[in-house]
Amino acid sequence: GAVVSQHPSWVICKSGTSVKIECRSLDFQATTMFWYRQFPKQSLMLMATSNEGSKATYEQGVEKDKFLINHASLTLSTLTVTSAHPEDSSFYICSATSGRAMETQYFGPGTRLLVL
């Protein structure tokens, strides 16, 4: 099956620093990648959709200057949380599809971010 990896799996950082999270599709070409955030006991919240080679589409209420997304290749997308604050502490999950309509999203294992 399709495998998606994320790195790092967890990170602790000081307030004001930037954190980069990588999402890789290991055995397929991901033309579309999604970034989600999930707070405890809540469902997934889509942050943005990124297509390879183009700018990400952000959901309403998500600051694009704070959450920088780069999808430079068909197997890699990165999410950078700039100037992180404690309220950014969350579980960040990426998913990927090969871009065909109605394609199943395959999820990475998630990155747990704790901002002190």
Q: Phi and psi at residue 88, in whole multiples of 5°?
A: -85, -10
Report in angstroms the alpha-carbon separations of 45 from 12, 35, 37, 42, 82: 21, 9, 5, 9, 19
CA dist., res. 104 & res. 93, Å (int): 15
Choosing from 12, 63, 104, 114, the residue that interacts with another protein (CB under 8 A) is 104
Radius of gyration of the chain (CA): 13
Q: Does residue number 60 form part of the binding site for another protein (CB under 8 A)?
A: no
Q: What minimum distance in Å lies between the beta carbon of 20 and another protein? A: 19
Q: What minimum distance in Å lies between the beta carbon of 31 and another protein? A: 12
Q: What minimum distance in Å lies between the beta carbon of 110 and another protein? A: 4
Q: Does residue number 28 form part of the binding site for another protein (CB under 8 A)?
A: no
Residues that bind another protein (CB under 8 A): 34, 42-46, 49, 91, 93, 101-102, 104-110, 112
